[in-house]
Amino acid sequence: MTNTTGPLDGRVALVTGAAAGLGQEFAVALAEAGATVAGLDVADQSATARRVGATYLAVAADVTDPAQVKAAVASVAAQHGGLHVLVNNAGIYPPIPFEDTTPDDLRRILAVNVEGAFYCAQESLPHLRRAGWGRIVNVVTGAIFVGPPDIVAYTTSKAALVGLTRSLATAVGADGITVNAIAPGLVRTDTAARSTGADGGFERVAGMQRIPRVGEPADLLSTLLYVCDPATSFLTGQTINVDGGSAFL
């Protein structure tokens, strides 16, 4: 696949956690909308590169390491002549009972899900400001609205990202930069299946939704493109819930 003319033509986008799952789908969707896309991950990104095409830039970095993030963002901006869109997608969600969550468990979840997004936004911001236009998208979870009992630490970390979204939106609104969050429900990916059991609990969750089917990665793409679109310039600090209606129950 090669980049095509679209609403993001001429823009450079960086997606964290781009090796597989939602991150890979986000990278492909942004490229199809015209963006030049880079991905940041600790895992091999060859599958994403094959789908996006020759313009894809795969950068190996750990989002929990500020030095690695700094070098990765600088590399993307240098090779592509700037940066305009950051999608903070990297995250982990081990289903650990609250009583069994160790300090190390909690620190690891917060480091990846919160600190990683913070560092990536911090390093990306000068480039977005220099461009005079930017979009930061934080991927959170619909779980923050329903409070499932088996992922307390994960839900806590993603709720923190909502706070980051709102505060950062206030800080950068005058710079032509918007900051929004997307809150997916349980979406069918290999990562979700590994993290939440043999069948991922997909059918069980689907039965609790207003829209009683399993969420798929494609269900999130229109929302991602909407918040990244240059025409969506008056929406910021918002968390858009895309969970099939679970939060209404």
Q: Given pLDDT bands bounded at 50, 70 and 90, which one contains residue 219?
A: confident
Is residue 143 within 8 Å of residue 154, measured between CB atoms? yes
Q: Tell which wins on pLDDT, 208 or 2.
A: 208
Q: Is 226 a catalytic residue?
A: no
Catalytic, out of 56, 93, 119, 154:
154
Is residue 37 within 8 Å of residue 235, measured between CB atoms? no
User: Was domain 12-248 assigned CATH 3.40.50.720?
Assistant: yes
φ, ψ (nearest 5 deg) of residue 149: -75, -15
Per-residue model confidence (pLDDT) at position 212: 64
Question: Which tens digit of pLDDT belongs to each residue from 57-110?
Answer: 999 999 999 999 999 999 999 999 999 999 999 999 888 999 999 999 999 999
Give the mean model confidence (pLDDT) for residues 114-135. 98
Res 19 pLDDT > 90: yes
Residue partners of 40: CB distance under 8 A and separation at least 6: 14, 15, 16, 17, 18, 59, 60, 61, 63, 69, 72, 76, 90, 120
Res 239 pLDDT > 90: yes
Closest CA to 241 of 199, 211, 203: 211
Sketch the domain layout of the chain as residue ranges.
12-248
Per-residue model confidence (pLDDT) at position 76: 98
